[in-house]
Every structure is written in structure tokens, then in C-alpha cells.
Structure 1
């Protein structure tokens, strides 16, 4: 009998890149059958675009009433889980990147093992929820997250492992988005209204970006912000706005930019796969202490949108002073082993699936 492992694709498309490499790696191994469960034809099509040999088994879940199918708008996760419980629960091992699946634990008789691949490698406290404790095994990108999960009582040391950041294996190449050779600034605001630079200061930031000379600008907010906020519109010829496309989630922009501008998004760590200048917006004048702002040590921090031109002018000259901190932060946040993350994650998942004890009741 094959080892049956199912990946739950019930979240928005940006999370797909964190589990898909491991799913593909597992499906190549003898005696393993990997299914992908999703209520979205568009998500399953995106998966298939990375699986030309068709080694993954797509399972189209019933779709709760919702808006039209979209990569960035999925139906209620809880409704999807309940509507498809019988299909989902027949798989002995379920892998996911979102914590809503922990609600399955509340259904009497549920016996499947739940494995979480924690998506992202950021610093804000919103990445740590009580439901994280409901998973049998959690895989994180680096030692930073492993330590924080244990310190917060969300995992025992035996139930969490560092598996690396498999999304890097699907990253898009550097691309040219403008018709000149000016350097490219990527502005990537987060969606959390309590921390996002855009939510409270959007007009001032846009005005500063539009007034820049000698720079091209990509504005690519986190897809959750792009979904919730009014569309960002600019007619400036040096500005490209992306409110949600494949480019905004496959690292096209983080690989193609020369300078990063943001607030608390974990995408800064994707940008720092290759150390480059970073600028962080502290327009609400926070003290910057605590884990949520740990990455602010990796570049300039400015407290006014008007200060952006001067920060950009200094960025190249100041960058050598930030390289050591950027490399150390990356080593803590994302374990970059010579062994690909997809292989490490697949080993951990398969070993757990084949040797684990009965699921928690």
C-alpha cells in the first residue's frame, strides 16, 4: 500500500509556493502517493503549471458559496473544511500552510495527522497563534522561528523541525519591467492595519514615490492588503503597480529590485536572499523594540515619507555596513543548507507519516 499524503490547498495562492516543492519531491519517491485538495480550479491549474509530468493527484473539493474563483480570494476555510470533511479526513496525513485546518481537531473521530509548513519567515507577533499548538508536526524555515514557537509554548522541541524555505526553489528569475536602466525600488507594504505603512500614510508615500527622479518603482502590496484596500493608482511613467498577480507572489519583484522599501512584511527575507539595501518606514514613530521589528536592524529606518529621496541617495554607500547583519539575520530566519529545502521537508514529512503514533485526540 502506498503512503498517502494530502496537501490542503485552501488558502490563497501566495501560500502555495511554500508547500508545492515538498509535494513534488514526495510524489517522485517510490511508494508515496501525493494528493492536492483544493476548492479552486485556478489554484489547481497553478499547481499543474509546475507539474508538467502530472505526478500530483488533484482532488477538486466542493466549493462553498463564495465569490468567483480567484487565486487571491478563496472561500471560507472553515466552510470548506466542514463541507469536505469526509474527503479530507480519509487521508492519514494532511499537510498545510494555514492554521484554520486545526479546526478539524474539534470533529469527533478525526484521526488524521496534521503537519504544518509555517509559511513566511517574518517577525511580527501575528505569526504566532494558539492554533499552532494543534499540529502534530511543524516545519519552520529557520532556527529563529523554531526558538520562538517553543518559547511561546506552541510546540515542544520534538514536534518542530527546521526544514528551510522551499519557495526559493520556485523563484522567478530577475526580469526587466521598465524601458530604461534606472535602478528599481520595490515598495511592499504589509496588510496588518496596526503595522502597515500604507494604511495610514498611503497618500504621502505615493506622492513621495511619484516625485522620485532617477528611479523606477514597483508597488506590490501584500496580497491581503491588495484585496482589502482601494486600488493603488498612479499614472507616473516610472511606477508599476501590482495589486495581485503571479509576479507578486513568485518572487519576480524581490529578485528584480535593487532596493527594498517596506514595513513588517516577511518578504524582506526573500529580498535578502541576495543582500541589498533596505529602507523601512516608521511613519507612526514606533520605538522599534521587540521581535516584530527585528528586521529594522537590516537597513535604514526613516520616519517621514519626505526622507525617502535622501535615504535612497545614501543606500548604496551605507549598504556595506548592513551586509553582516543581513547575512546573520538570514541565517537565523532561513536555513540555507546545501540540501534543498524540498528534500529536507519531504524527509521530515515522510518519516513522520510512516513512523508516527496515532493522532492526538
Structure 2
């Protein structure tokens, strides 16, 4: 009998890039059937675009009443789980990147085994929540997350494994988004209202970016922030605003920018796949030094006023040599870049877990 493994795709499209490489790798393994469960035809279409041979079984879940289908706004995860529980519970092994699915563990009679691929490799404390402990196996990008999850009692040394960052295997190539050769600044604010530079300081930030001379600017907020805030509008010809597109989730911008401007987004670690200058906005004047949630702020300049941005950009190239060692060390701790592709490492870990579960069930 084949081993059935289901990937539960009930989150927004940006999370798909974290589980899809492992799903594709498993679908090529002998004796394995991979199923992708989603209430979104658009997400299933996105998945199918990476699976031209149709090796995976795409399962359309019932969709709770919600807004029209969108890659970036999905219906309530809890309602989706409840509405489709009879379908979901049929699969012996479920893989997901979100933690809402941990709710399934509280349903009487639920016997599925659950694996989480932790999406992103960021530092903020919001990435470590009690529901992480609901999973039988957690795969993380690097030793940093493994250490932090274990230290917080959310995992143990036996049920948390380093599998790398498979999204890198689907990354877009660097692209030209402007018709000139000016350097490109990427502004990537996070959705966490308590930590983001946009909700309280948006007009100030936008005004400073509009006034920049000699730079092109891409404003690409986290897709969750883009869905919660009013559209960012500007007539400045040197600014490109993306409130949600494939470019905003496939690393097009992080691969193409010359300088990163942000706050607490885990996309900093995608940008640092190739070390480059970073500038972080501490507009709320936080006492951040020594706080692990802001450890990435040690990887570039930190400014407390948008008036300081032009000067920070002017010296970014000269200062970069002093940050390279710290950037490379942070990347090594956050993302394990073994010569073996992360998708294959994750597939090995998932399949080994699934087959051990089969043997236990049969005993």
C-alpha cells in the first residue's frame, strides 16, 4: 500500500512556498501519494503550475462563506477545518506550515499525525506560540529555531528537526523593475502592528521615500499587512508599490534589491541569501539591544528618524564590509544550508516519520 501524505494548504499563498518543494520531492518518491488540500482554487492553480506532470492529487475543500478567492486572503482557518473535518481526518499524516491546524488535536477521536514545517526564519517572539506544541514533528530551517522552540518547551529534542529552507529552491531570479540603473531600495514592513514601522509611521516613511534622490524604491509590505491596511498610493515615479502579487512572495524583490529597509520581517533572511546592506527602522525608539526578537538589527544600520535615511543610504556600501561576518553567522544559525537540497531533507524526514507511524499503527 502506498504511503499517503496530505499537505494542508489553508493559509495564504506566501506559506505555500515553504511546503511545496517538499511536497514535490515526495511526489516523485516510489510508494508515496501526495495530496494537497485547499479551499482555494487559486492556490491549487499555483501549486499545479509547479507540478506540470500532475504527480500530486489536488483536493478542493469546501469553502466557508468569505470574500472572493484570493492568493492573499483566505477564509477563516478554523471554519475551514471544521467544515472539512470529515475529509481531513481521513489522511493519516498531515503536513502544514500554519499552527491553526493544531486545533484538530482537541477534537475527540482525531488520530492523524501532524507535521509542521515552520515557515520563515525570523526572530520576533510572535513566531513561538503555545499551539506549536500540538504537532508530532516540527521541521525548522536552522538551529536557531530548534533551540528556541526547545527552550520554550514547545518541542523536544526528539520531535524537532532541522530541514533547511526549501523556499530557496523556488526563488525567482533577480529582475529589473525600473527602466534605469539607479540602485534599488526594498522597503518591507511587517504586519505585526506592535512592531511594524508602517501602522504608526506610514505617512512619515512614505514622505521620506518619495523625497529620496538617486534611488528606486520598492514598497512591498508583508501580504498580511497589505490585506489589513489601506492601499499605499504615491505618484512618485521612482517608487513601485506592490500590495500583493507573485513578486511579493517568490523572492523577486529580495533577490533584486541593493539595500533592504525594514523592521521585523523574516524576509531579511531571504534577502541575506546574498549579503548586502540593511537598514532597520527603530522609529518607536525601542531598547532593542540584547533582545533576541531584534537580533537581526545587529546586521545593519539602525535609524530612529526617517530624516537619517539619506545619510544611512550614502554610507551603506562603505559600512557593509563591517557587517558581512555577522550577516553570514546569523544566516548559518537561522538557515542550515546543507549541500543536500532542503526539499529532499524535508521529504526524508516526513517520509521516515510517516512510515514509522504506519509500522506503529500496524503493530
Deviation at 1:358, TM superposition (A): 6.0
Deviation at 1:153, TM superposition (A): 0.2
The residue aligned with 2:50 is 50
Question: Following the alignment from structure 1 to structure 2, what is the Cα–Cα distance between the partners of residues 314 and 236?
Answer: 24
Deviation at 1:273, TM superposition (A): 0.1
Question: Following the alignment from structure 1 to structure 2, what is the Cα–Cα distance between the partners of residues 284 and 140?
Answer: 31
| Conserved 8 A contact 1:111-1:358 | no
Question: Following the alignment from structure 1 to structure 2, what is the Cα–Cα distance between the partners of residues 291 and 227?
Answer: 28
Secondary structure of 2:200's counterpart equals helix
Question: Following the alignment from structure 2 to structure 1, what is the Cα–Cα distance between the partners of residues 218 and 174?
Answer: 14
Question: Following the alignment from structure 1 to structure 2, what is the Cα–Cα distance between the partners of residues 205 and 79?
Answer: 37
The residue aligned with 2:340 is 339
> Structure 1, residues 137-181: CA drift from partner, whole Å, max 9, x if none?
000000000000000000010000000000000000000000100
> Structure 1, residues 250-286: CA drift from partner, whole Å, max 9, x if none?
0000000000000000000000000000000000000
Give the alignment of 1:16-27 within 5 angstroms: 16-27=16-27
The residue aligned with 1:12 is 12
RMSD: 0.8
The answer on 1:159 being equivalent to 2:159 is yes
Deviation at 1:107, TM superposition (A): 1.0
Question: Following the alignment from structure 1 to structure 2, what is the Cα–Cα distance between the partners of residues 53 and 320?
Answer: 45
Give the alignment of 1:119-198 within 5 angstroms: 119-198=119-198
The residue aligned with 2:243 is 243
Give the alignment of 1:1-361 within 5 angstroms: 1-289=1-289, 290-356=291-357
> Structure 1, residues 306-337: CA drift from partner, whole Å, max 9, x if none?
10000000000000000000000000000011
| Conserved 8 A contact 1:40-1:74 | yes
Deviation at 1:291, TM superposition (A): 1.2
Question: Following the alignment from structure 1 to structure 2, what is the Cα–Cα distance between the partners of residues 354 and 192?
Answer: 38
Question: Following the alignment from structure 2 to structure 1, what is the Cα–Cα distance between the partners of residues 221 and 32?
Answer: 38
Q: TM-score, normalised by structure 2?
A: 0.98
Deviation at 1:106, TM superposition (A): 1.1
Question: Following the alignment from structure 2 to structure 1, what is the Cα–Cα distance between the partners of residues 107 and 321?
Answer: 54
Secondary structure of 1:199's counterpart equals coil
Q: TM-score, normalised by structure 1?
A: 0.99
| Conserved 8 A contact 1:17-1:250 | yes
Question: Following the alignment from structure 2 to structure 1, what is the Cα–Cα distance between the partners of residues 198 and 80?
Answer: 31
> Structure 1, residues 113-134: CA drift from partner, whole Å, max 9, x if none?
0000000000000000001001
Question: Following the alignment from structure 1 to structure 2, what is the Cα–Cα distance between the partners of residues 229 and 358?
Answer: 48
Question: Following the alignment from structure 2 to structure 1, what is the Cα–Cα distance between the partners of residues 340 and 234?
Answer: 43
Secondary structure of 1:174's counterpart equals coil
Question: Following the alignment from structure 1 to structure 2, what is the Cα–Cα distance between the partners of residues 265 and 10?
Answer: 21
Question: Following the alignment from structure 1 to structure 2, what is the Cα–Cα distance between the partners of residues 202 and 74?
Answer: 25
